[in-house]
Every structure is written in C-alpha cells, then in structure tokens.
Amino acid sequence: MKTDGTARSKARDISSWSPSDQARRDAILRAASAHVRHYGYQKTTVADIAKTIHLSTAYLYNFFDSKQAIGEAVCTRILSDLMSELDQSVRQITSPSECIVFIFQYLAEVSIKMFRDDRKIHDLVARSFHEHWTSPTAYNAELLSILKSVILRGRETGEFERKTPLDETCEAVRYTTETFFHPVLLEQNPRNLIDEALMVALLVRRSLLC
C-alpha cells in the first residue's frame, strides 16, 4: 500500500487540485460506491476499484491514501446528499414546528430505507459510526446547522422559546435524533421506528414552543 508523504499530501489538499484531478477523483468515488453497493465494503479492495476505471492501483493512491480514505469519502458524499435533500425540504416548510417533526420523520424514513433496500451502504455507514470516521462528524455538523436555522427561525417568529441557550437547544435536539438515524442503534431496533420518531418529534416540538 502506498502511503508516502506525497500521496498523503495530495489526497488531503483537494482545494488545490486541477479540474481534471477533481473529475478523476469523482470517477473513483462513483466506482467505489458502485462496488461497495454490489459487493460490500469488506470485500472491496483498492485494486478492484482501480481496475473498474482502468487505473493502476499505484496511481489511485495519488488521490486516496488508503481504502478507508475512499470509504470515508463515499460515506461523506452519501450523508451529505441526504442532508442537502433535508435542507432543501425544510426550507420549503413555512412553520418551524412542522420542520422539527419533518426532520425526525425524514431521518427515520431514510434510515429504514437504507437498512432495507441498500444494506451494503447501510453497513458502510454503520462502520463509519462504529469506527469514528470523519464522515459521521461531518454529518452531525450539517444536521446541527439545519436544526439551528430552523430553531432560529422559530425564535424570530415567536413560535419557539428563547430562554434556553441556542447552542444547548440545538445540540440537545440533534442528540435526540440519533436513535432514528444512527445505523448501529437501528440494527438493534428496526421496528416501529417511524412511529417512534413521530412520538419523540412531537415531544421535542412541545419543549421548544413558547
């Protein structure tokens, strides 16, 4: 496995890459995602991914310094896409109270869908949470940002209380969502998740109201 300083430096300094390098990186991630969906992360190798898009394994290490780095990038993209979809949806909902309920239901629904219909991707996400990869950290930050925008909007309209510190409120609400998206927890309780999400969402919403 190539892990020299040059490869690591290039893999981490994405902002300095040329458009062609960015395009090649995207092609690697698309191939990796497709391979993981079909075979699973455990059975996927860097050589498999390189072969799929007609690259040498050594060349691929110019973009990612390890299999885990590829897995983290794939996972980050998947979770970021989910958060972008959530953000767009809540922006179209007028009432902040309804947004809170929607966020819980959305997370439960996409979590169940991934668990049932895209199991190998679910397993990749579960691994990322279990092994504390960077992708769950990015996901939590994006979700926290969405919650903050909704709660701020609710406070500005007078719908939500303002006494509790904003950061404390946002983090507490984010924490209560974990049961409905955290893949490791989902494996322990896959039944009635959507109904439970609604029940907790309504409780959280009541706690936010003036």
- What percent of the chain shows pLDDT beyond 90? 82
pLDDT, mean of residues 91-103: 97
Instruction: Note the Cα 139 to chain centre separation in Å.
Output: 4
Q: At 13, is the pLDDT very low, low, confident or very high (cuts 50, 70, 90)? A: low
Distance CA 168, CA 176 (A): 13
Domain ranges of the chain: 5-65, 69-208
Tell me the pTM: 0.88
- Is pLDDT above 80 for 5? no
- Is pLDDT above 90 for 1? no
Sequence-distant (≥ 6) Cβ neighbours of residue 113 within 8 angstroms = none
What does the H/E/C string look like for 50-106?
HHHCCCCHHHHCCCCCCHHHHHHHHHHHHHHHHHHHHHHHHHCCCCHHHHHHHHHHH
C-beta of residue 12 within 8 angstroms of C-beta of residue 3: no
Which pLDDT does position 90 carry in this prediction? 97
CATH superfamily of 5-65: Homeodomain-like (1.10.10.60)
Q: What is the pLDDT of residues 41-85, one digit of tens each?
A: 999 999 999 999 999 999 999 999 999 999 999 999 999 999 999
Q: At 163, is the pLDDT very low, low, confident or very high (cuts 50, 70, 90)? A: very high
Which pLDDT does position 118 carry in this prediction? 95
Cβ neighbours around 19 below 10 Å, total:
7
Task: Identify the CATH assignment for 69-208 out of 1.10.357.10, 3.20.20.70, 3.40.50.300, 3.40.50.970.
Answer: 1.10.357.10
C-beta of residue 28 within 8 angstroms of C-beta of residue 48: no
